[in-house]
Structures are given as structure tokens and as C-alpha cells.
Structure 1
Amino acid sequence: MASIFTKIINREIPGHIVAEDENYIAFLDIMPLVKGHVLVVPKQEVDYIFDLKPEVLSGLHLFAQQVAKAIDKTIKCTRVGVAVIGLEVPHVHVHLVPLRSIDDINFNRPKLKLSKDELSEIAETIKSGF
């Protein structure tokens, strides 16, 4: 069965996409830690990050770097944090989280509940940073 991320990639369900190329996609987390929290995902559905082929893993990080730079330009933050947890969805994903404090990347804290309009506005803001 396809992961929820594959369904976003295939446009079977909506996603607030901020960047995409032939191998990778970046979209907003719909339950973010902070505004501007983005997930970067390889289009190839693989469960565990260290099972990716070396060239796919390095490409994922290079793509994430581009997205992080766009976040840094457009979302008020000190820097962009990176986390790979890999337990929530069986599809590799890198969290890019705009940070103002270390607590902004605490996955135990309550997630934000943003409207579709807020998410769309944030996605457009980040896209403007490319």
C-alpha cells in the first residue's frame, strides 16, 4: 500500500508543495512544530533512510539544502534545524524546522493546527525564496 507521502507525490491527496524535481519533493507538514516546518521526501518510496542508495541519499540532502535556504530567506528564524526520525510514516523524510529556540524542534510538544489558508500562505512564502 502506498504511503501518505506517495499519495501526495502522485497528487492523489493534496499537499502544500514548496519545491519539487524529478527525484524529490518538499511540502509543509500539516501538523507542524512551528510555521514553516517542511518535509523533504524522495519520490522513491523507501522506509529507512539508510536503505537509500548513496546517490539518492546525497541527492536528498542537496535538495533539502536548497529548501532550507528558501525557508531561511522567507521565514523569521535563527536557522533551520534538521531531523530524521523515521517512525511516523514508512517513507523516508527529512524534517526542516525553522528555529528560534531549541524547543522549536521538540517533537514531544503539541503540534500546531493551521488552516488550509494559513498553510497555503506559508507555502507560497517559502516558494518565493527560490
Structure 2
Amino acid sequence: MTQNCLFCRIARGELPAHVVHEDDEIMAFLDLHPIRPGHALVIPKAHHVWFEDVPAPLAARIMECSQMLARRMKRLYGVERVAMFFTGIHVPHAHAHVVPMHEVHDVTSQAYLAEGLTGFSAPPRLSEEEMARVARELARD
């Protein structure tokens, strides 16, 4: 854990949070600015800036907790789906968002909303050649 990291401070109990799950390696708590009520964050207690730096067994624990929360959210909110995604935009500590989706665009990127909230705009499609090039690059070690 680092001294000044917001999520490390929450994990140490130095800052308050509405905790919905905690064990020796992870913690889940409500997001202060939820997309929807129930929006939770699942963090490793150990400080990892990027999700790709989280050791695989620890990432699996985050996924297990997220799935458990998703089942609860479906039951509590009567939603068909729950989104789970990692971001690192505001706090440089790996964290998963678990969000009950009441509307189809609850977690949609702005890139898909050119027609507004009631429509859906697919971003421009890449050419087959570009898709093949990107696939080759991502498949390399």
C-alpha cells in the first residue's frame, strides 16, 4: 500500500467507505459517484496501479467478488445484466466497477452515442486490412 493513494487509505481503514465485502486481499465498497445505486468498486488491498499488473490469482478473486455482487444486484434491483469493467481514470489503483444496468446505455462509451441516449451509433469500422494488422500485432508475444 502507498501512503497517499486514496484506495490504499480506504483499505487501511483511514478513510470511510460503505464496504459491501472485505477479506484479506480485496475490498468492495460503494462508488461515491455511482452510475446507478449499487455501483460498487472492487479493489485489491495491495497497491497495483494498472489492472494488468494485478497477479492473476488476485485478479481471479476480484472477478469472483464481482460475480457475487452481480448476482446480488440482479436479485435486489431486478436487472437483467450487470456490467463489470476496469478503469484507472481518476484513482491510480487498479479497481473494477460493478454496475447494475437499468438502461442499455448505463455504461456505454460516448463514442456510441452520436445519436443521443435513445439511439446507437457504431463507431467507424476499420478496413479488413487494418483489422488483420491490429490482430497480428495483438497476437504477438
Tell me what 2:56 maps to: 54
Flag the 1:107–1:3 CA change in 2: closer, same or farther, 3 A.
Answer: farther
Q: 5 Å matches for 1:1-130? A: 1-106=3-108
Q: Which residue identity is paired with 1:45? A: H
Q: In structure 1, what is the Cα distance between the partners aligned to 2:10 and 2:31? A: 12
How many angstroms does 1:11 deviate by? 1.2
Q: In structure 2, what is the Cα distance between the partners aligned to 1:107 and 1:38? A: 19
How many angstroms does 1:54 deviate by? 1.4
Higher RCO by CA contacts (8 Å cutoff, separation 6 or greater): 1
Q: In structure 1, what is the Cα distance between the partners aligned to 2:72 and 2:32? A: 19
SS of match in other structure, 1:87: coil
Q: Quick check: 2:85–2:98 contact (8 Å CA) kept in 1?
A: yes
How many angstroms does 1:58 deviate by? 1.5
Q: In structure 2, what is the Cα distance between the partners aligned to 1:100 and 1:67? A: 15
TM-score (norm 2): 0.70
Q: Quick check: 1:6–1:43 contact (8 Å CA) kept in 2?
A: yes
Kindly, what percent of the aligned residue pairs are identical? 31
Q: Quick check: 1:33–1:107 contact (8 Å CA) kept in 2?
A: no
Can you give the 5+ residue segments of structure 2 that lack an aligned partner in the other structure? 111-141
How many angstroms does 1:84 deviate by? 1.2
Runs of 4+ in 1 over 6 A off after TM superposition: none
Q: Please report the RMSD computed on the Cα atoms of aligned residues, expressed in angstroms.
A: 1.5
TM-score (norm 1): 0.76
Q: Which residue identity is paired with 1:46? A: H
How many angstroms does 1:69 deviate by? 1.5
Q: Which residue identity is paired with 1:61? A: M
How many angstroms does 1:78 deviate by? 2.1
Tell me what 2:127 maps to: none
